[in-house]
Amino acid sequence: MIPIITFIFFLLGLIIGSFLNVVILRLNTKKSFGGRSACMACKNTLAWFELIPLFSYVGLSGRCRNCKTKISIQYPLVELTVGIIFAALFLKFQDIFFLSAYAFAAMYAYYTLFFSLLLVAAVYDLKYKIIPDSLSITLGIISFVGLFLFNSSSILLPYWHMPSLLQFLAGPIIAAPFALLWLVSRGRWMGLGDAKLATSLGWVAGLYTAISGVVIAFWAGAIVGVFLLMFSGKYKMKSEIPFAPYLAFGVFLAFLLELHIF
């Protein structure tokens, strides 16, 4: 039963991931998020069987059916990642799924929305080396609202409540080191967008889980950075490497596994 339901949520994540690819592509442009999708190279409108998340990419061997231009690996990777996020969050909240459909629906909708938008911010930062304020503000609002809906164990409360002082301060505390690095280095070591993003991560994950996530993020960033320096001719010691993807990965992993490294 559980594997079947998990797979269903994974498929739902694939579908949402396909839409998020459109959001990433068209964010901060004059294009709407609606309308038919087309090849970026030849502008040919895609048929329905070219829009099946993940499977179309595999079936087309990663190339446009019309002009044979190579399709960016971003598309299947984002779809697969969102599928994993949706499946993983179901497994995290599966006990609530069988206890209360309402509680599960509310919690699942909240956290899938937050982590899906967090992925958008991470991929956007990876592509353009900037985190749009629109995403930072949206994530901040969502995470701040969550303070009044969930307790420290991420359990949905039956009524609105006043968060503790520590819950309020979690966001600013997590953001403070990033803001300090940005201020001291004048933006050379860390972007201000990372500090804005960290605020929402502190609120949504809680102080101690968020700290664990940030530690994982720095570990992951260091490992990948060393690998890039050793094996990629494109990166040097002073190369700019986006940090939002590592923050997203670290905090999601810490939240999912309820890690408390310290």
Neighbours of 213 (CB within 10 A): 29
Q: Which of 17-21, 92-96, 201-205, 226-230 has the lowest mean pLDDT?
A: 226-230
Residues 16-32, mean pLDDT to the nearest whole number: 84
Q: What is the pLDDT of residues 158-200, one digit of tens each?
A: 667 788 899 999 999 999 999 998 888 877 778 888 999 999 9
The pLDDT value given to residue 239: 65
The pLDDT value given to residue 7: 96
Q: What is the pLDDT of residues 203-260, one digit of tens each?
A: 999 999 999 999 999 999 888 888 877 777 676 656 677 889 999 999 999 999 998 8
Q: Say whether both 76 and 105 belong to one domain.
A: no
pLDDT at 41 over 70: no
The pLDDT value given to residue 140: 96
Q: Say whether both 28 and 109 belong to one domain.
A: no
pLDDT at 8 over 90: yes
The percentage of the chain sitting over the pLDDT mark of 90, rounded to a whole number, equals 52
Q: Say whether both 213 and 132 belong to one domain.
A: yes
Q: Say whether both 87 and 106 belong to one domain.
A: no
Q: Say whether both 123 and 161 belong to one domain.
A: yes
- Residues with Cβ within 8 Å of 92's Cβ and at least 6 positions away in sequence, in order, are 256
H helix intervals, the chain: 2-26, 55-59, 74-92, 94-99, 101-128, 133-147, 165-185, 192-205, 207-231, 244-257
Annotate 30-56 with b (16+ C-beta within 10 A) or e (fewer).
Answer: eeeeeeeeebeeeeeeeeeebebbbeb
Q: Say whether both 113 and 243 belong to one domain.
A: yes
Annotate 171-207 with b (16+ C-beta within 10 A) or e (fewer).
Answer: bebbbeebbebbeeeeeeebbbbbbbbbbbbbbbbbb
pLDDT at 87 over 80: yes
Q: Say whether both 127 and 180 belong to one domain.
A: yes
The pLDDT value given to residue 94: 92
The pLDDT value given to residue 67: 81
Range of the domain at 258: 101-262
Q: Which of 54-68, 81-95, 125-139 has the lowest mean pLDDT?
A: 54-68
Q: Say whether both 136 and 262 belong to one domain.
A: yes
Q: Say whether both 132 and 259 belong to one domain.
A: yes
Number of domains in the chain: 2
Q: What is the pLDDT of residues 129-142, one digit of tens each?
A: 899 999 999 999 99
- State how far the Cα of 179 lies from the Cα of 187, in Å rounded to an integer: 9
Q: Say whether both 87 and 133 belong to one domain.
A: no
Q: Which of 38, 71, 92 is the last residue of a domain?
A: 92
Q: What is the mean pLDDT of the chain?
A: 87
Q: Which of 92, 121, 153 is the last residue of a domain?
A: 92
Q: Which of 58, 92, 126 is the last residue of a domain?
A: 92
Q: Say whether both 178 and 225 belong to one domain.
A: yes
pLDDT at 152 over 60: no
Q: Say whether both 121 and 235 belong to one domain.
A: yes
